[in-house]
Amino acid sequence: MLIERAYVDLPEGKGTAADGWPWTVPCVRQLVAEGLTFRAPVTFLVGENGSGKSTLAEALTEAFGLDSYGGSAGYKYAGPRAPSELGALLRFSPKLLRSRGTPITRAGRTMVRGPRTRRRGFFLRAETALDALSRERLTQAPGEMSHSEGFLLAFREKFAQPGLYVMDEPEAALSFSSCLQLVGLMDELAAMGAQVICATHSPVLTALPGAEIVEVGEHGMRAADWAELGLVDHWRRYLTDPRAYLRHVLA
């Protein structure tokens, strides 16, 4: 892991509900009040659309120095997205990196607080992934592959060393078997000392053993167990009896 805690360095009088979005979002209000502590190398952010999980993922991305448009650490792409106000105010408490059981304080602090060129990691945002990947040095051109193949190529070639890897709904382009490959990769990244933060709706991804799940919603943020997640319950019920759901949406 690289990051132990994220917190907002808020100027006095700023960040109130009167300032509008994103300060009105419940999870952002809780982030301002309490910060967010990371307890596992892989953290999943889950919640309904509009709950704020992507807002959190983007802010964490920007605070680390990754471009919120997507791509590798150490570079700044000319994407159309302006830096968010939350990302500019978010700060990290670095966690000591360990190599063969020995703390490496300098390495941990350099990765989190050092210059952009010293950082390692990647941000994959589903809706901008293909364009962002086209700017990367990969063994194949993502534009000549399917959406899913492009994602898997990036995972294999860019998710390969200790660093921070943030993903926003990566399952959007992945089949069931491809999601399983990503689960295996996340486990490998955790074992090598990397940190993964993933905003997702996928019950397949969130089943990774040892991962921390943070449920985001009107309540703010709270730790959750996989078996108790609403998304897991709904998928289980739907696959058992699709008609129980479809009768509400079909004429």
Query: Could you write out the DSSP letters of every residue in 194-238?
Result: -EEEEE---TTGGG-TT-EEEEEETTEEEEE-GGG-HHHHHHHHH
Per-residue pLDDT at 251:
78
Contacts of 169 (CB under 8 A, 6+ apart): 54, 125, 126, 199, 200, 201
Q: Six-digit token pair at 210? A: 């040892």
Per-residue model confidence (pLDDT) at position 100: 46
User: What local confidence, expressed as pLDDT, does residue 105 receive?
Assistant: 42
Residues contacting 107, CB < 8 A, separation 6+ = 97, 99
Ordered per-residue pLDDT tens for the chain, 251 residues: 889 999 999 998 888 878 999 999 999 999 999 999 999 999 999 999 999 999 999 999 999 988 888 888 866 655 556 678 999 999 998 765 554 444 444 555 677 776 777 788 999 998 888 888 888 889 998 878 888 898 999 999 999 989 999 999 999 999 999 999 999 999 999 999 999 999 999 999 999 999 999 999 999 999 999 999 999 999 999 999 999 999 999 97
User: What pLDDT does 101 receive?
Assistant: 46
Whole-number pLDDT of residue 68: 86
What whole-number distance in Å separates Cα of residue 2 and Cα of residue 164? Answer: 7
Peptide bond into 26 cis (omega under 30): no
- 244: three-class secondary structure by DSSP: helix
Domains, the chain, ordered by start: 3-226 (3.40.50)
